């Protein structure tokens, strides 16, 4: 049985190849380390300042863009809020205009109800029953108007106001001062503080020009009497 005898030359070749491989690995490790060191080596101070300046410029640009977008957002939000409020006001105004237009058409019916109520004079039992039914219907009508915010004006004895009243007649009055309302010809109405219909009224002119003319006539007569008295005195003096 033959034993394998190691060949020294072969062993040297193997050792030499392993040494070459080890040397190559050392060279590779050195080169990779150099590359890593080159990549990690800090840049020069000039490059650092340039990079810092670039980052500051980018940061400033981003901040300006952020402020611009923020101001645009706030302006759009404010415009939308104003638009929403304006739309709400316009809807309220439109609703009020439609209500005023509808009620203005109904007010003449109320006037006719009031005229008929003033003229009714029930005598018999049947007429009184009809009158009570009429009063109940009129009261229901008035209650509906109150629920809608309609209120009548009370004008007699008040000072004339063109924003609330419409003067149809002006007449002198000894009892009422000037520009005072003496009579209501057609009732006016408010709708939630807004004039729904102006009241047609009769306005006092005060005592009037007649009394002033009378006082002027009286003063003229007194002057004439005083002149005649003075002339009589002068004539008596001349006679004496």
**168 within some domain:** yes
Task: Identify the sign of the CA torsion 30, 36, 37, 43.
Answer: positive
**16 within some domain:** no
**190 within some domain:** yes
Q: How many domains does the chain have?
A: 1
The CATH number given to whatever domain includes residue 155 is 2.30.22.10
Residue of 234 and 98 predicted with greater confidence: 98
Whether the predicted pLDDT of 95 surpasses 70? yes
pLDDT per position as a tens digit, 100-116: 888 888 899 888 888 88
**165 within some domain:** yes
**199 within some domain:** yes
**178 within some domain:** yes
Measured CA to CA, the distance from residue 60 to residue 66 in angstroms comes to 10
Whether the predicted pLDDT of 2 surpasses 80? no
pLDDT at 116: 81
pLDDT per position as a tens digit, 9-55: 444 444 444 444 444 444 445 555 555 454 444 556 677 888 888 88
pLDDT per position as a tens digit, 147-189: 988 999 989 988 999 999 999 988 888 888 888 999 999 999 9
Measured CA to CA, the distance from residue 120 to residue 139 in angstroms comes to 16
3-state secondary structure 152-206: ECCCCCCECCCCCEEEEEEECCCCCCCCEEEEEEECCEEECCEEEECEEEEEECC
* Residue 191: domain span: 151-208
Alpha-carbon separation of residue 193 from 78, 152, 165 (angstroms): 31, 11, 15
Q: Which of 203, 155, 154 is nearest to 180 (CA)?
A: 203
Alpha-carbon separation of residue 118 from 48, 115, 125 (angstroms): 102, 5, 19
**21 within some domain:** no
pTM (2 d.p.): 0.53
**29 within some domain:** no
């Amino acid at each position: 049985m033959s034993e394998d005898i190691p060949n020294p030359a072969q062993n040297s070749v193997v050792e030499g190849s392993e040494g070459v491989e080890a040397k190559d690995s050392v060279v590779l490790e050195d080169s990779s380390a150099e590359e890593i060191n080159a990549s990690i080596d800090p840049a020069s101070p000039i490059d650092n300042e340039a990079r810092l300046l670039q980052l500051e410029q980018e940061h400033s640009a981003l901040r300006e863009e952020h402020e611009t977008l923020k101001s645009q957002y706030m302006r759009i939000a404010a415009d939308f809020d104003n638009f929403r409020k304006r739309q709400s006001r316009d809807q309220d105004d439109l609703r009020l205009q439609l209500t005023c237009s509808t009620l203005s058409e109904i007010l003449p019916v109320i006037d006719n109800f009031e005229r008929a109520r003033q003229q009714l004079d029930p005598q018999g039992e049947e007429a009184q029953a009809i009158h009570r039914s009429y009063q109940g219907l009129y009261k229901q009508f008035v209650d509906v108007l109150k629920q809608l915010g309609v209120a009548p004006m009370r004008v007699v004895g008040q000072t004339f106001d063109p924003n609330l009243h419409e003067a149809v007649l002006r007449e002198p009055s000894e009892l009422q001062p000037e520009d005072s309302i003496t009579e209501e010809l057609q009732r006016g109405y408010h709708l939630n503080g807004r004039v729904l219909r102006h009241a047609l009224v009769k306005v006092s002119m005060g005592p009037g020009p007649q009394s002033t003319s009378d006082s002027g006539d009286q003063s003229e007569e007194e002057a004439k009497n005083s002149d005649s008295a003075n002339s009589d005195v002068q004539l008596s003096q001349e006679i004496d």
